[in-house]
Structure formats: structure tokens, C-alpha cells
Structure 1
Amino acid sequence: MADIFDVIADRTRRDILRLLLDRSSAGERGTSVSHIVTELGASQPTVSKHLKVLRDAHLVSVREEGQHRYYSLSAAPLDEVDDWLVPFLDDDGLGDAAAPAGTLTESAAHAADVVGRAAASAKHAFETALKKLPGR
């Protein structure tokens, strides 16, 4: 399996994950490849290639109905990203106040802050979507 960071490093794959998250928040049980193609303005082969990578990383699941495939977000593998980011964050998300001065360069600290905020936002949105699912 590819490293989760390599998988989510690609902009198109992140766009697919965001679309699936938004659709699940809206109560959708899955999103068709044709809907993803239309929403992203990408070709069907490109979307299919990225969906395969996301499936291999267990970030999406697929449900088959006849000749149609419907994809849903499976965000559990993102816990690895969350676990990696936690040491860089404190309660206000601005970095680890207990870390010795000079631990991170200014650009690395900024990058960690941006990634941390994005991950926290995605985690919050996902948890909110999960709470809206029937039976939860």
C-alpha cells in the first residue's frame, strides 16, 4: 500500500475526497464516477485512476449496482495523518509551546500550521457528517 501522505499529496485525489465528504454530509450513500467526472471537470480515465489509488489506500469504498459503481469516503486511514500532526499542535493549533526553541524552522512551522488546520477542519467536517448518518 502506498504511504498515506503520498496518496493525499495529489490535488485531484484531495478534490475527490472533498467531494465524497461533501456528498456524504448531504446524505448521499455514494457518488458515481460520472458525477465525480462532471464535478471535477476531469476525464473519466483520470478519475478512475485516482479512485483506484484511493481504493488501494482504503480511503474510499465502492458499492456496485449493476454496471454502476458508487464511491464513498472511508476516512479511517487519515488517522495516521492526524496522529502525525498532533505533536505539532497545541490547544490553539499554533504549535507545541513545550517544544524547545528552534525545533522547527519558520517555514516548517508555517507548513505544519497550514496542514494541521486543514486536517483539523477535515476531521471536524467528517465527524459532523458521521453524526448525521442514520443509525449513529
Structure 2
Amino acid sequence: MADIFDVIADGTRRDILRYLLERANAGDDGTSVSHIVLELGVSQPTVSKHLKVLREAELVSVREEGQHRLYSLVPGPLDEVDDWLMPFVVDEAEVVAAALDSTLPEPAAHAAEVVGRAAASAKHAVASAFRKLPGRP
């Protein structure tokens, strides 16, 4: 399987993932290649090529319905990206706390930094837990 970062490095693949996420959030349980082609304005062979890469990386699933193939987002593999990015989000909380240092007394600035780190960490943990629940796309 290809490295997840290599897979999502391509802009067209990210556009496809974003579109499938929008469709899933709208309650769609599968999107055809023709809908993706129309939405993104790229050729059918290009979309099919990128869907194959996304399928091999297990970022999309496909099911056949008659003569149509319907694609859906499988966000689980993106947890690796989320886990890798999390330290940078926490570091961002440090930047905010440093900016507050100049306007807050020392104990308040420290408290703001601790709360910011805890909030970022909790947000990540909750989001990861929800993604792993059975029945979640």
C-alpha cells in the first residue's frame, strides 16, 4: 500500500476526497464516477485513475449497483495524518499562549497554555474515538 502522505499529496485526489466527504455529509451513500467528473471538471479517465489509487490506499470504497460503481469515503486511514499533524496543532496553542504572555500576568498565561493544550488534545481524542465507532463511514 502506498504511503498515505503520497496519496493525499495529489490535488485531484484531495478534491475527490473533499467531494466524497461533502456527499457523505449530505447523506449520500455513494457517488458515481460521472458525478465526480461533472463536479471536478476533469476527464473520466483521470478520475478513474485517481479513484484506483484512493481505493488501493483504502480511502474510498466502491460498490456496484447495476452497471454503476458508487464510491464512498473511508476516512479511517486519515487517522495517521491526523496523528502526525496533532503535535503541530498543539504547538499552535503554544504560539497563542506566547502571544497572551505579553498581555496576561504569568500565572494566567501559563493557565491559558495548559488549557489550550488540553483542549487540542481532547478534541483530537474525541474526534478519533468517534471515527472508530462501528457504523461510522
What runs of 5+ residues in structure 1 fail to find an aligned partner? 98-119
The alignment covers a number of residue pairs equal to: 103
1:63 positional shift: 0.9
Please give the root-mean-square deviation of Cα atoms over the aligned residues, in Å.
Answer: 2.6
TM-score by length of 1: 0.68
What runs of 5+ residues in structure 2 fail to find an aligned partner? 96-119
Which secondary structure state, in structure 1, belongs to the residue aligned with residue 72 of structure 2? strand
Pairing 1:24–2:46 present: no
Greater relative contact order (Cα < 8 A, sep 6+): 1
Q: Distance in 1 between matches of 2:54 and 2:66?
A: 22
Deviations 1:38-76 (A, max 9, x none): 000000000000000000000000010121000000000
In the other structure, the counterpart of 2:92 is 94
- Letter of the 1:11 counterpart: G
- Runs of 4+ in structure 1 deviating by more than 2 angstroms, as ranges, are none
| Identity, % of aligned positions | 75
1:89 positional shift: 2.2
- Between Structure 1 and Structure 2, the one with more helix by share is 2
In the other structure, the counterpart of 1:67 is 67
In the other structure, the counterpart of 2:114 is none
Deviations 1:61-112 (A, max 9, x none): 001012100000000000000111112222xx61556xxxxxxxxxxxxxxx
